[in-house]
Structure 1
Amino acid sequence: MDGNGMYDDLPEQEVTFRGRGNSTWNMKKKPYRFKMDKKTEVCGMKKAKSFALIANYIDCSLMRNTVALWLANYLEMPFANHCVPVKVYFNGICKGQYMLTEKTGVGSGSVDIDEEKGMLFEIDSNYDEDYKFAYDLYSHTAVQNGYNNTRTLPVMISDPDLTEIAPALGLTADEYFDTWKNDFSAMLTAVMTTPSTGSLKEYIDIESVVNFFMVNSLSSNHEMRHPKSFKLYKDSLDGVYKFGPVWDFDWAFTFDGREGAPANTPMVDNNGDCGGYTFIKALLSNEEIRTLYQQKWNAFVKDGYPELKAYMEEYATLIEPSAKENGVLWPADYSVDWRLSESSFDFRENFDKLKVWIQQRINYCNEDPNFGLYR
């Protein structure tokens, strides 16, 4: 790896590459994960063995993830990912611009908690992990008949590997999973049954909820509606659930299947995938959360937004040459009707549209009684 004068170079070494992603793996420009033999500092990020290369194939600005992760770091969300724009070559052939970032999981390079005590969950309609359960939002129980997106939440253990951790605790993987399933279900039941005037502090970290949804609302992250890539973690069974780290902003901002998504729509509404909407609305109707959200949102608009604009200009200047090259390598793609991808070749035009959209989004969230979160 050539640090290009900005970061330390890395010597040539053997690494393991694999594909990553769900729907993104089916796109033409592939996302990857690579793993080294030992923990290594890469581009200023915390030492880790594994890192991700995000393709940003459907992002003609190549900046959606970058903007969202900047805000997560500005809000000082624990374990927020960082991003470094890189050009990737395979066998001497340029594959375009990618975003280098941490692999999200339990470990020193990401969610730095004790893997024998804590747990990283993901609420995701892909429902594809080994240990998972569906939570019925109406009967308030974990159900065994599978995920139904009209009334249940798809909850999965994202990390660590229970088959490795449980034996050290004198348990089977299934026994350890049941313990955490019951604990997570209790938190969900509290959210669904506590009156809006009640407190959820016994179960969840309120500030983490506010930060998590500020990032997702500013970006109008459409993945929340399913939901997908919705991560929470807990340091130990004696602690409280913390929302984050935030992840996956390809399908957000100006894009909702194609470019031109309006800025003045709620992050989620009761249309289609109702499970995510039902849970998010119940959570964000809580008055304690709403009061803190208003305070932090006002502070961001006053002080953080000017910093964000300056950062975006600096980042755009940095990536513009490689963005245009990326656009030549990966031209506009209209081959799939639900994923109409524009090229990054007209980078400045795309960047200007993103800036206008964010200003419109802030104006909308300022005026909307629910901060643009839900209808």
Structure 2
Amino acid sequence: MMFSALFKINSLKRFVAFLCCIVFSACYWAETEENPDYLPMDDSMYPYAGLPRLVIEIENFAGLRDRETEFPSKLQIYGEKSPESEVLELTVRGRGNSSFKMPKYGMKLEFKDKVELFGMPKNRDWALIANYGDKTHLRNYMMTRLSEWLGARYTPRMQFVELYLNRKYMGLYLLSETIKVAKNRVHIEENDTTFLVEKEDVKKYDPPYVITDKKNIYHIRSPKNPPEESLELLQNHLNEFEKFLKNRYLYEDEEILNWIDLEDYLLYYWVQEYSKNEDGNYARSVFFTWTKGEPIHFGPLWDFDLSFGNASRTRNQ
């Protein structure tokens, strides 16, 4: 009887201790520290797989609701057993068009200060690509690296990482440079007659933009706040370009050189055609630069999750 009573007492003690652990653990995990020395990471369920691990905590563990709201956050890079960076301050918001609606979504990272990540040049702006629509996780990485190896003017550099967001394991992501005007990215002049442009579709497009006579929508990435004269300049040029393409049989073959840089275009077209990229059919995520008085330079290449037969719709055979 005495042994039975002791067993019950010890069992009760263990149970109370277990409850205390849960309570204190819940208190610990419920709040973010203002200036932590490190961000906690529990990898007991998902041990080190040989990839860098990004640990991100959004202020008050907020969830990302849209692509516009920027949340103050902290980020730390982990190696196999310990942090390999200090705690960095940044903001996080959702990114992507249709991809943001998927169960595993992309994110836009904007650091307080410029940071160098995994050997990629310093910048404040980075993207976490979820690749939810591409279960191989390889299409974006393969085609951007192919573009780089073929000698494109610029192709976003990337690094596979594992992500822990708000102390929850989110899986494999692709950390990528974003397409923007910068010395080590799209290196063009920043003025009112030089443009970085993205062709978009009718489902979702962001200002500033121009719409041509053919109803094509072009989002202007640079300059950021173009005056009306710049919008008109770009719109008129694209209208004339589209008119030329429609009536190209009326012109001499050499005249195409007045409109596009052929070397850039051939590389761009070949990679799109080789990968059978659905978006490359002048649908969306088509980037180019143009300076008044010069030909259009196609690139950088971007967005290959719908390539190599991974189409978004069923086609007739």
Does the Cα contact within 8 Å between 1:47 and 1:108 map onto a contact in 2? Answer: no
Identify the residue that residue 250 of structure 1 maps to in structure 2: 305
For 2:78 and 2:141, locate their aligned partners in 1 and report how far apart those are by CA, in whole Å.
19
Alignment of 1:187 with 2:241, yes or no, is yes
Structure 1 gaps, min length 5: 138-151, 167-172, 266-375
Identify the residue that residue 87 of structure 1 maps to in structure 2: 162
Higher helix share: 1
Structure 2 gaps, min length 5: 1-75
Does the Cα contact within 8 Å between 1:127 and 1:154 map onto a contact in 2? Answer: no
Percent identical among aligned pairs is 25
Give the Å deviation of 1:251. Answer: 1.3
Give the Å deviation of 1:206. Answer: 0.3
Identify the residue that residue 133 of structure 1 maps to in structure 2: 210
For 2:276 and 2:241, locate their aligned partners in 1 and report how far apart those are by CA, in whole Å.
25
Q: Secondary structure at the match of 1:182?
A: helix
For 2:295 and 2:84, locate their aligned partners in 1 and report how far apart those are by CA, in whole Å.
40
Higher strand share: 2
Q: Secondary structure at the match of 2:162?
A: strand
Q: What do residues 235-275 of structure 1 show as CA deviations (whole Å, max 9, x unaligned)?
A: x31322100111111111131138x999xx9xxxxxxxxxx
Alignment of 1:71 with 2:71, yes or no, is no
Give the Å deviation of 1:226. Answer: 6.1
Q: Secondary structure at the match of 2:258?
A: coil
Q: What do residues 204-244 of structure 1 show as CA deviations (whole Å, max 9, x unaligned)?
A: 1001111111111111111134611111112x313221001
For 1:40 and 1:247, locate their aligned partners in 2 and report how far apart those are by CA, in whole Å.
22
Give the Å deviation of 1:131. Answer: 2.8
For 1:127 and 1:178, locate their aligned partners in 2 and report how far apart those are by CA, in whole Å.
22
Q: Secondary structure at the match of 1:80?
A: coil
Q: Secondary structure at the match of 1:155?
A: strand
Alignment of 1:55 with 2:109, yes or no, is no
Please provide the CA RMSD for this pair. 2.5
Larger Rg: 2
Q: What do residues 337-370 of structure 1 show as CA deviations (whole Å, max 9, x unaligned)?
A: xxxxxxxxxxxxxxxxxxxxxxxxxxxxxxxxxx
Alignment of 1:177 with 2:254, yes or no, is no
Does the Cα contact within 8 Å between 1:45 and 1:82 map onto a contact in 2? Answer: yes
Aligned residues: 236
For 1:226 and 1:111, locate their aligned partners in 2 and report how far apart those are by CA, in whole Å.
20
Ranked by relative contact order (alpha carbons within 8 Å, sequence separation 6 or more), the top structure is 1
Identify the residue that residue 121 of structure 2 maps to in structure 1: 46
Q: Summarize the Cα distance change of 1:193–1:27 in structure 2 as closer, same or farther, 3 Å threshold.
A: same
- The aligned runs of 1:7-26 (5 Å cut-off) are 9-26=84-101
Amino acid at match of 1:124: E
Does the Cα contact within 8 Å between 1:33 and 1:53 map onto a contact in 2? Answer: yes
Identify the residue that residue 220 of structure 2 maps to in structure 1: 157
Give the Å deviation of 1:197. Answer: 5.2
